[in-house]
Structure 1
Amino acid sequence: MDLRRMCSWSMLLGLMALPTLSLAAGKCERLVVTGSPDAPPYLWQDPQNPKHLIGASADLLQHVAAELGIKVDLLYAGKRSQALDEVRSGRMDMLADAPLTLSELESLDYIHPPLLENDYLVWTRKDSVLVYSEAQDLHGHPGALSEKSRLTPQFGTFAEQQLSLTRTPNLTQAFQKLLLGEVEFVLAGRYSGMAAAQSLSMANDLIARAQPVDKPGLYLAVSHNSACNDPWLRGQLAKKMTELPASGLTEAALQRNIERWKQQQQQPASTPKQ
């Protein structure tokens, strides 16, 4: 009897001693993720399977999740505002490209550092005489900016108060205004600008100035209402985000997806434009 009791206690203690890591990891084997459906080369709808999102952010997240033993489904949830609502509610677990805003801290846990940094550059025609070394130099010159751009709150306030910017429905129209001489510059992300310029055959006509005017991060953001939101997941994702910049995977994913987007634009089927 004593022996059986001792065995029972041993089994109970053994179960209690199981690593908390395993228990935490077991809580979440699958993440349902969404994001912007029209932000190449970061994220956009897969023209072959419109229910899914593809792009550099998707590739990097899939790589990180595979290393953690987690399955990720990157699904289309509608336009950006609809995707945010799906994650806030917990119907989806995570945003793959969330801009850091104070108002969303009430519903989302942001993983630091960001998955990607989106350098916003000053794009001009190659024959432009605009002298630019800092944002203040743009004062008094007409420019354009896509309504879909996501600037940091600080620079957004500066741009609104100090710059003369025409907001266009997308980056394509902003670049067209630039080539037509209706504006002197366009503010656009380094890689989204490259993707747009190449797909529109404008790469030989435009130039991006080297000094960024803004550097908003694109963060992984986990819903407070997600069953997967636990300290183990947040900690492991933060560790992977810290390792990514030195891995070389980020730049490779961006370049690969710029080419992917360009090739898709050359095909007959239409795809969302930024």
Structure 2
Amino acid sequence: MRELFSAFLLLCIPLFARADCTALTASGNAEYPPYLWHAADNTDALDGAITQLMTTLGERIGIPVQVQFVGPWGRTQEEVANGNIDLIAGAFYTKARSERMDYLRPAFQETRSVLWVRNNNVFDFRDFSDLVGKRGVTVINNSFGQAFDEYAREHLSILQVGGFEQALRMISNGRVDYLLYEEQPGLAYIERAQITNLQMLEVPVSREPLYLTMSLKSACNTPELKQRISAELQKMNQEGLMAHYLAQARMRWQQR
């Protein structure tokens, strides 16, 4: 009987711990302006529209959300999957991620992933197959939607590099035929760098919702808290807060 009682207590300990959630940690892609960017090399802070959104979310649910820089995008995903960070503040849906974290709905933003090409190397893009035989570049550990990711693995040649600025140099210098990235972050980098020999193709590769996700290993992962977060996300979407925060973040990014 004593052994059974001890086993019962061990099973209950995580449940008791999960009930005591007084703060949330979040992180995301630090090369993702105007959504997120590393505030300064000597800090662990992330600035951007998503940071503003998470601050507001924390105030509304009564649990502060601290958005932290924890390293490159790949490491960030691992830190969340392992439960060292509670939330990814901005992720596309992939099956692999859904096995390690919960997607909190609704999405807080829809994004377009697009192609940039050199002005002297413009080609027609209407379908994934138009990229077959061409050389592309993007940033490592990025997803552009389940459909495109699966097609690219089977049929396309896309080099993955460590950061967007490296990818930008490669397309600008003619080492690849196209650069694949999300529209808003891509424009933010290109405009600030004052690069004029590139243009964005009109047809997007994908349109994907951007979600807040919670690690399955987070001590704060409870049905009650996820329901509260989802309810507030719905309200903030209706109020148009993300568009307001994006406008402010674009100005801060350009003035860095």
Give the TM bin, normalised by the shorter chain: 0.7 to 0.9
Q: Is the 8 A contact 1:191 1:258 kept in 2?
A: no
Q: How far does the alpha carbon of each residue in 1:78-125 deviate from its partner, in whole angstroms, 9 at most, with x for none?
A: 333443343334343222123433334343221022233331111123
SS of corresponding position for 2:29 = coil
Q: Is the 8 A contact 1:152 1:216 kept in 2?
A: yes
Distance verdict in 2 for CA 1:244–1:136, change over 3 Å? farther
Q: Is the 8 A contact 1:57 1:116 kept in 2?
A: no
Is 1:123 the counterpart of 2:116 in the alignment?
Answer: yes
The within-5 A match list for 1:1-274 is: 27-47=20-40, 50-202=43-195, 204-264=196-256
Distance verdict in 2 for CA 1:167–1:227, change over 3 Å? closer
C-alpha distance in structure 1 between counterparts of 2:236 and 2:201, whole Å: 26
Residue identity over aligned pairs, in percent, reads 28
Distance verdict in 2 for CA 1:63–1:151, change over 3 Å? same
Distance verdict in 2 for CA 1:251–1:126, change over 3 Å? farther
TM-score, normalization by structure 1? 0.74
SS of corresponding position for 1:100 = coil
Which AA in structure 2 matches 1:119?
R
C-alpha distance in structure 2 between counterparts of 1:244 and 1:205, whole Å: 38
C-alpha distance in structure 2 between counterparts of 1:74 and 1:150, whole Å: 21
C-alpha root-mean-square deviation of aligned residues, in Å? 2.6
Q: How far does the alpha carbon of each residue in 1:225-270 deviate from its partner, in whole angstroms, 9 at most, with x for none?
A: 3332222221122223334444332233234323323322xxxxxx
C-alpha distance in structure 2 between counterparts of 1:251 and 1:81, whole Å: 27
Unaligned ranges ≥5, structure 1: 1-25, 265-274
Q: How far does the alpha carbon of each residue in 1:49-83 deviate from its partner, in whole angstroms, 9 at most, with x for none?
A: 61222222211121222222321111222333443
Unaligned ranges ≥5, structure 2: 1-18
Which AA in structure 1 matches 2:248?
R
Which AA in structure 1 matches 2:134?
H
Structure 1 residue 192, shift from structure 2 partner = 1.1
Q: Is the 8 A contact 1:194 1:258 kept in 2?
A: no
TM-score, normalization by structure 2? 0.79
Distance verdict in 2 for CA 1:187–1:89, change over 3 Å? closer
Show the counterpart of 1:12: none
Structure 1 residue 177, shift from structure 2 partner = 2.6
